[in-house]
């Protein structure tokens, strides 16, 4: 199983919307590298939900309900995701940038990507932060 971080502007679709809906299809990824990452998502993968914009924080956890579906032309992909839980304490980008353990996190290195991989040690560290 892999771990990921998916970004979304909360005014477009927030973690609260996902909690209400239960599940959704994640789509609309245009950046080639982010799209490459999306194509790699497998059923059961864990995913952080990150609010962009003014909030800039990881706010919840999702699960991939199925492997990513890639269109025949390979230019688009989607994945079904479901809400797992809201983090007790959101983990802000500022907190992440201050943590030496997260210095190689692609969230800080490639801030424009909407989908990024998360290593097991990064996942654990973020969960530690989320407990307050």
Contacts of 103 (CB under 8 A, 6+ apart): none
pTM, entire model: 0.95
Give pLDDT, residue 19: 98
CATH of the domain at 56: 3.10.590.10
User: Residue 85 contacts by C-beta under 8 Å, 6 or more apart in sequence?
Assistant: 60, 61
Reading the block at residue 61, the tokens are: 């956890």
pLDDT digits (tens, 9 = 90+) for 77-93: 999 999 999 999 999 99
**How many structural domains are present in the chain?**
1
Query: Is-contact 18 62, C-beta < 8 A?
Result: yes
Range of the domain at 62: 3-130
Cβ atoms 105, 63 nearer than 8 A: no
* Confidence at residue 115, expressed as pLDDT on a 0 to 100 scale: 97
Query: How does pLDDT run across 22-65, given as a tens digit for each residue?
Result: 999 999 898 999 999 999 999 999 999 999 999 999 999 999 99
Tell me the chain's radius of gyration from C-alpha atoms: 14
Residue 116, pLDDT score: 97
CB 58 within 8 A of CB 49: yes
Backbone angles phi, psi at 103, to 5 degrees: -65, -25
86-115 burial: b if 16+ Cβ within 10 Å, else e: ebeebbbbebbeebeebeebbbeeeeebbb
User: Are β-strands 3-8 and 46-51 bridged in parallel, bridged antiparallel, or unpaired?
Assistant: parallel
- What is the average per-residue pLDDT within 71-81? 89
Q: Is the pLDDT of residue 95 over 80?
A: yes
pLDDT at 128 > cutoff 80? yes
């Amino acid at each position: 199983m892999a771990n990921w971080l998916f970004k979304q502007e909360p005014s477009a679709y927030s973690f609260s919307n996902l909690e209400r809906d239960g599940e959704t299809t994640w789509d609309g990824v245009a950046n080639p590298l982010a799209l490459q990452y999306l194509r790699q998502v497998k059923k059961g993968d864990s995913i952080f939900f990150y609010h962009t914009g003014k909030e800039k924080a990881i706010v919840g956890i999702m699960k991939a309900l199925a492997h990513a579906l890639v269109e025949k032309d390979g230019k688009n992909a989607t994945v079904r995701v479901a809400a797992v839980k809201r983090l007790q304490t959101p983990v802000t980008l500022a907190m992440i940038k201050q943590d030496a353990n997260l210095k190689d996190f692609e969230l800080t290195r490639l801030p424009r990507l909407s989908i990024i991989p998360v290593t097991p040690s990064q996942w654990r560290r973020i969960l530690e932060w989320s407990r307050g």
